[in-house]
Structure 1
Amino acid sequence: MVGILSDIGNVRKINEDSVGYYKNEGFGVYIVADGMGGHNAGEVASKIAVDTIIGYIKSLNDLEDMEGILIHSIKMANRKIFSLSKSNDGLVGMGTTITACLVKNNKMIVANVGDSSCYVMKLNGITKVTKDHSLVQQLVDEGSITEEEAESHPNKNIITRALGTNEFVEIDTFDIELSDITKVILCTDGLTNGVNTSEMYDIIFNNNNEESCIKLVELSKLKGGRDNISVIVFEGECEDDRN
């Protein structure tokens, strides 16, 4: 069972996040995207990203090169968004984050651009797989600020990479073995800005995937919900008896 939910939050007038997944007996692809650009441009960018990546991967007969396929699909989405932004004055400057997982057998490839996140959960804890492409993360890496200072930094939401803002995009990928992983969590920063990993773990450990998404969004909104909030929770290979 896959849990999936996207919520406008408490403050925003438009939900610029997009989420989606496709799963069959051979593979699964799961995506969260956080659009930007004002008016409805962010919503357009994030939807193009999700639809393009899932559509391309569904069209293939051979998924042997999982990393190459995921990278190619994201680059396709980048070109579509960039091209559309150049051809429509109302969409100038639009872009989106992307975090996507391609799962086959016991292997998962994670790809990300921006500050949406992927976490993996084991029976004894939760770990972040992706690394944010953000100004604040850059400051942490340089040693200019601490992880604690990053949590409340005023420029926390400034990202250094996005899909669709340039003709070419740099994509980070991660190769994950799923044998000892119970759950995989994808989310936009609307969730992680308010909900910490301990809270995330407790909710997901004690609920099924659909209920987890509902409770995570509810907690995020209870703690402010200033941004759109999107989350996907799906099974790893090490399944427990609650789902």
Structure 2
Amino acid sequence: MVGFITDVGNVRKLNEDCIEFYEDGEKSIYVVADGMGGHNAGEVASKLASTSLISYIKEKFNSNDINRVFIESIKFANEKVYNYSLTSNNLNGMGTTITACLIYKEQVLVANVGDSSCFIIKDGQIRKITRDHSLVQELVDEGTITEAEAKNHPNKNIITRAVGTKEEVVPDIYELSITEFQHMLLCSDGLTNDVTNEELIHLIDLSENYNEFCKKVLQLAKSRGARDNISLIIVGGEHYENRNYTRG
């Protein structure tokens, strides 16, 4: 079960976000990427990274070593974007964030590069799994600014790690069990800029299915200005079948 939506927002002319997912009954892969770069380079980077990651896992999947395959898929995506950026001056310097999830049986792996996010929700509680690779997050970690000040910091969109901007990339990898969440949400920062964690929980409770949830979240973000592209994908974890959630 999956719901998803992506939107250009109220200000941008181009949607540089990308959502991709793959399910085959054995494993599931979900990806949100937020591209950056001049002209249409960000759109190219996010799409190329997302599709490359999924294609690598599909081809190389090994149930006995899924951690290695997952990490290699991020590095493969980085190589694809980086090499392609060298083919044209218009693509020079392009890159993308990427937050991805691989689910196999009870095992859940989450990878992150940049400032897109992964949240898990269970029993009315929401928890952010990923940690942003951003200048503002570094300032928070140092104690220079507070979490509240970070929300509206002028350098909020400066990221310190991205896919495709360098020859090598090191993703953060998080390991979970399917029993740790009822809902998992991957999203670009265009969502978290305008919608709070508490509002996400509230909208889950108000929605009959994931498709409705995604539409309500997007509507709320756009009502507040939505200066960036907005993308989210939500999937069900343990006991989600006990609610009336349907495929979005």
Tell me whether the two structures share a fold, i.e. TM-score over 0.5. yes
- Give the number of equivalent residue pairs: 243
- Paired with 2:61 and 2:132, the residues of 1 have a C-alpha distance of 32
- 1:87 Cα deviation from its structure 2 partner: 1.8
RMSD of the alignment, in Å? 1.0
Equivalent position amino acid for 1:110 in 2: V
- 1:42 Cα deviation from its structure 2 partner: 0.2
- Paired with 1:191 and 1:37, the residues of 2 have a C-alpha distance of 20
Question: Percent identical across equivalent pairs?
Answer: 51
Q: What is the aligned partner in structure 2 of residue 213 from structure 1? A: 214
How is 1:158-169 mapped onto 2 (pairs within 5 angstroms)? 158-169=158-169
For structure 2, the 5+ residue unaligned runs are none
Map Cα deviations across residues 183-209 of structure 1 (whole Å, 9 max, x no partner): 000000000000010001111233111
Larger mean CA deviation between 232-241 and 55-64 belongs to: 55-64
Equivalent position amino acid for 1:209 in 2: Y
TM-score, scaled to structure 2: 0.96
Q: What is the aligned partner in structure 2 of residue 191 from structure 1? A: 191
Q: What is the aligned partner in structure 2 of residue 231 from structure 1? A: 232
- Paired with 1:205 and 1:53, the residues of 2 have a C-alpha distance of 32
3-state SS in 1 of match to 2:60: coil
Equivalent position amino acid for 1:193 in 2: N
Q: What is the aligned partner in structure 2 of residue 139 from structure 1? A: 139
Contact kept, 8 Å, 1:106 with 1:237, in 2: the verdict is no
Equivalent position amino acid for 1:23 in 2: E
- 1:58 Cα deviation from its structure 2 partner: 1.6
3-state SS in 2 of match to 1:46: helix
Q: What is the aligned partner in structure 1 of residue 16 from structure 2? A: 16
Larger mean CA deviation between 78-87 and 92-101 belongs to: 78-87
Moved over 2 A (4+): 60-64
3-state SS in 2 of match to 1:203: helix
Q: What is the aligned partner in structure 2 of residue 242 from structure 1? A: 244
Equivalent position amino acid for 2:220 in 1: L
* Distance change (3 Å), C-alpha of 1:61 and 1:34: closer
Q: What is the aligned partner in structure 1 of residue 177 from structure 2? A: 177
- Paired with 2:6 and 2:29, the residues of 1 have a C-alpha distance of 17
Q: What is the aligned partner in structure 2 of residue 118 from structure 1? A: 118
- Paired with 1:212 and 1:67, the residues of 2 have a C-alpha distance of 31
3-state SS in 2 of match to 1:242: coil
Map Cα deviations across residues 131-178 of structure 1 (whole Å, 9 max, x no partner): 000000000000100111111111111100000000011110000112
How is 1:55-94 mapped onto 2 (pairs within 5 angstroms)? 55-94=55-94
3-state SS in 2 of match to 1:175: strand
Contact kept, 8 Å, 2:124 with 2:201, in 1: the verdict is no
* Distance change (3 Å), C-alpha of 1:61 and 1:150: closer
